[in-house]
A and B are shown apart, each in its own frame.
Chain A
């Protein structure tokens, strides 16, 4: 009974947070996949997993970061299954976009989990550094350090073009 009550309360807070979290997850996934339809599927899957764990994660300060991390991982995994899209030869504007996305995917994959998470929140979700620190429960200094190290490790520059102008 207690568990049912707990889940009931959790369901209410999930409903309240659903749309905002979905939109964040969708935007991150679309930036990685370049495909609205696939991004919708990724966001739905990420939110489903969030729902399954909601009694645990809903009260965490890094709840949103948790969802975006799942969405990022799912989107990066999806790129491996979408080789036809990502292996297209670069010859036109659309292919330039694909190449840019490819570079972003490669850059994200190259990072350790925490650095990737900070980059995603800062540049793909468009949060400020203090907001990233708050969402992840880190100090501002630690976030800056992660960002600096991440950029040092990346094989491509995090240009506005690569990041879709989100930062």
Chain B
């Protein structure tokens, strides 16, 4: 059947709208069931901040969507999570908030949304949050250049970790995540050629070690046992893929050839959650 009416007259279909709808719903239901079978470990919960609300995902669900700016964080030892709220209009930008898992004790940790704080990552002991921010970007409002900072879980004692010296080139450093023992941070750094690499460094910014050469390596996360770092690689002209590498930069390997952009996370038993295409 060819669907033709005033709105859709360029849409030429083999099947009727009713047939298509039935087929789509049937396949969608199959996907729903499959999604529940192929679950991630229930001990892991990801949190998605969407607009003014917070969407906590069930243990049997995968994260289905996020914005370009990573908003999810793994759960630390304490029952508290950090998330990013995006502001529009007068106070345009983003800010980091923290909240207890039961939905109480909401606190804004970022002072000024125009700093575009984002990608919060709790240390395993729950004492520190690493995050990216544009607060020291001399081109803020013109060009997005972020650096990495750490702060206490209550938002105090902010310390700068990285310093992008030439804000005119690349987009700085982003996507921090802690090693399980809290001794290192893993981050993604974009150079002047828009080539993003994964590197680790001490929380005081010293002892930098570059793990990957890129291109387009972002969103690193450390496994619970400390043995692996997962990251997303998005080379020009190729699908975004899921990769892992040892913390010393060896044994890099591609795990999934094509994934959706979105945050990665490790389960305690060494599985990786990602957003499927």
Contacts and interface: CB of A to CB of B under 8 A. Distances in A.
Interface of A: 11, 14-15, 18-19, 22-23, 26-27, 36-37, 40, 44-45, 47-54, 56-57, 59-62, 66, 70, 73-74, 77, 106, 109-110, 112-114, 137, 139
A137 B239 CA distance: 24
Contacts of A23: 7-8, 11
B270 interface: no
Nearest to B33: A52
B29 A51 contact: yes
B28 A51 contact: yes
A37 B30 CA distance: 23
B165 interface: no
B237 A106 contact: yes
Interface core residue of B28, B51, B260 (most chain A CB under 10 Å): B28
> 4 shortest A-B CB distances, which residue pairs?
A51-B28, A52-B31, A48-B27, A53-B64
A56 B237 contact: no
Interface core residue of B10, B21, B234 (most chain A CB under 10 Å): B21
Contact of A47 (B7, B28, B68, B277): B28
A36 B7 CA distance: 17
A141 to B, nearest CB: 8
A70 B32 contact: no
Interface of B: 7-8, 10-15, 17, 20-21, 23-25, 27-29, 31-32, 35, 50-51, 55, 61, 64-65, 67-68, 86, 88, 92, 216, 234, 236-240, 258, 260-261, 277
A51 B68 contact: no
A47 B23 CA distance: 10
Given A48-B31, A57-B64, A77-B239, A139 B88 contact: yes
Contact of A137 (B20, B67, B236, B238): B67
A73 B277 contact: yes
Given A70-B277, A109-B238, A52 B11 contact: no
A137 B86 CA distance: 9
18 contacts: A15-B21, A19-B17, A23-B8, A23-B11, A26-B11, A27-B10, A27-B11, A36-B12, A37-B14, A52-B28, A56-B64, A60-B65, A62-B67, A73-B239, A73-B277, A74-B277, A113-B68, A113-B240
